[in-house]
Amino acid sequence: MSRTKLILSVVIMLACIVNLAACGNSSNIKVASDPPQQSDPSGNDANNNNKDKDKDKDKGKKVKLTFQIHYSDETSPQHLAMKKLVNDYTAAHANIEIEVDALNMEQQKLKLKTQAATNDMPDITVVNPGAQMKPFVDGKKLAPLNDILDKDGLRETFVSGVLDYYTFDDNVYGLSEGNDIAVIYYNKELFEQADVAIPTTYEEMVESAKKLRAVGITPMVIGEKETWTGSFFFMNIVLRLAGPGFLEDVMEKNKTFNDPVFVRAIEKMQDFIQAGGFQEGATSMDYNTAENLFVTGKAAMYFMGSWAVGTMENSDIKDKIGIFKFPTVDGKGSPDEYMLAPGLGYCIAAGSKHIEEAKAFLHYYMTNYPKVMFELKSAVGIAQLVDGDFTAAGYSQAAMEVLDLFKTVKGGDIAFDNTIDPSTTQVHLNSLQNLFVSDIAASELAQEHQNAFQANNP
């Protein structure tokens, strides 16, 4: 299946699921229990008894699992869910200790690469899908997870098609936490103060940024210290100008980064930066800090994935938040095509000394993740089925608006770093970050991309 067809199949299924979840009954996701003991079909009961005794001895052994995650903000719903699930599991399994290494996304990526190179990976970690996961799979750094997916129906809890992003040669190596879309959140009160209407075109959004800036309001926040954030925004411009599949065409060498569409996208990105569209010091501000500016009412707009609405559920401005789709650019593109974000996948190190214990914990974690996230009012855009009434559960109007947007999805693209090889991606991320601090010709930056791609994809 091509990436474009895969994307479309996933979002269609997701739209169907949202229709059910938004008006369903209360959550009925069950907590997994330990599976019953299986008898040996060979009839070797004596051998079985000895094995059971050995297992009982092993069950009493103290085991320390290392768990690396990409949420360093201890107040985020994802971090709170992780903490609850870890605490509940260790309370029920006295012999298991779980040491959590909580980092931001950029720190986690860099640390994991170093650990993989020295064969010192944590037992459980997270890796982005597609092109970012492939080197770990090729290097035999990750354990296949088919067995835990086939246990107790866990596979069937995932949105149809989403696990394909983490599948190589029929083996699944990551269990996705999210299946999100990118939207623009805005503060209705700040828009009113600046007499700004919801922009229907990118050009109007640039002008809105100027008007907001003129009255002392930060137009939009971005955590460009973590360079994926700028790429996420930029690739939505590319999606509007080129339509879905531009990067796939580059990968197949049907197009190049020197394509006029890609050059134009860089110019449009520069327009927003030069209009003062982002906050001062954007390149020194990480994801959490930038997001906090928006949720505390200090910025008018925030471009981010639908997962961010979970953080807003507990903010003082949740009733002032509205949502709009990324607008057309130069009159091109459909607002119903989105940047799509299959989340990081939870993975297990192939070299783990406690692989069975790690798999048992991960099975528990993913079985109960939807229920815990639903209770935390942060189940919008997760990769697993949620049978619950979001309105009755007290989800905000902003969350309900995002859920409604899922029903409008007609396709889109996944992020640059999940599509193009890691070496070219690093050039891409560095080049875009330079746009925030230097004046560089769009054609020159496009050529940097093409040179890197040719060097890494001869």
Q: Answer whether 20's CB lies under 8 Å from 27's CB.
A: no
pLDDT on residue 20:
45
Report yes or no on 267 lying in a domain.
Answer: yes
Which residues are registered as beta bridge partners of 375? none
> Does any domain span residue 242?
yes
Same domain flag for 210 and 282: yes
**Is there a single domain that holds both residue 207 and residue 133?**
no
Q: Token pair for residue 346?
A: 């939870």
Question: Are 73 and 148 in the same domain?
Answer: yes
Rg of the chain's alpha carbons, rounded to an integer? 23
Whether residues 215 and 282 share a domain: the answer is yes
Give the per-residue pLDDT at 48: 43
- The 10 Å Cβ neighbour count of residue 99 is 12
How are beta strands 412-414 and 171-172 bridged, if at all? unpaired
Q: In terms of domains, do 293 and 371 share one?
A: no
Contact 430, 39 (CB under 8 A): no
Q: Are residues 336 and 302 in the same domain?
A: yes
Number of structural domains found in the chain: 2
| 193 lies in the same domain as 75 | no
Question: What does the chain come to in residues?
Answer: 458
Domain end, chosen from 330, 362, 388, is at 388
Select from 77, 201, 183 the least CA-distant residue to 398: 183
d(Cα 85, Cα 149) in Å, to the nearest integer? 18
Distance CA 402, CA 408 (A): 10
Instruction: Give the span between the Cα atoms of 171 and 112, in whole angstroms.
Output: 21
DSSP string, 319-344: GGEEEE---BBTTBS-TT-EEEEE-P
Query: Torsions phi, psi of 77, nearest 5?
Result: -60, -40
- Strand, helix or coil for residue 147: helix
Residue 203 and residue 227 in contact, taking contact as beta carbons nearer than 8 Å: no
- Whether residue 40 is contained in a domain is answered as no
Residue 248 sits in the same domain as residue 346: no
- The verdict on residue 117 lying in a domain is yes
Q: Are 287 and 313 members of one domain?
A: yes
Span 158-199, pLDDT tens digits: 999 999 999 999 999 999 999 999 999 999 999 999 999 999
Looking at the domain assignment, is residue 31 inside a domain? no
Q: Assign residue 300 the CATH number of its domain.
A: 3.40.190.10
Tens of pLDDT, residues 40-74: 333 344 444 444 444 444 556 899 999 999 999 99
Q: Are residues 346 and 408 in the same domain?
A: no
Answer whether residue 141 is part of any domain: yes
Final residue in a domain of this structure, among 360, 388, 416: 388
Q: Which class for 330: exposed (0-12), middle (13-18), buried (19 or more C-beta within 10 A)?
A: middle
The domain in which residue 430 lies consists of 180-341+401-456
For the chain, helix, strand, coil in percent to 5 are 50, 15, 35
**Structural domain contains residue 49:** no
Instruction: Tell whether 78 is covered by a domain.
Output: yes
Same domain, 430 and 447: yes
293 & 423 share domain: yes
Low-confidence ranges of the chain (pLDDT < 70): 1-60
Q: Are strands 124-127 and 345-348 parallel, antiparallel or unpaired?
A: antiparallel
Q: What is the dihedral angle through the alpha carbons of 406, 106, 120, 124, rounded to the nearest 10 degrees?
A: -20
Domain stop point among 355, 388, 421? 388
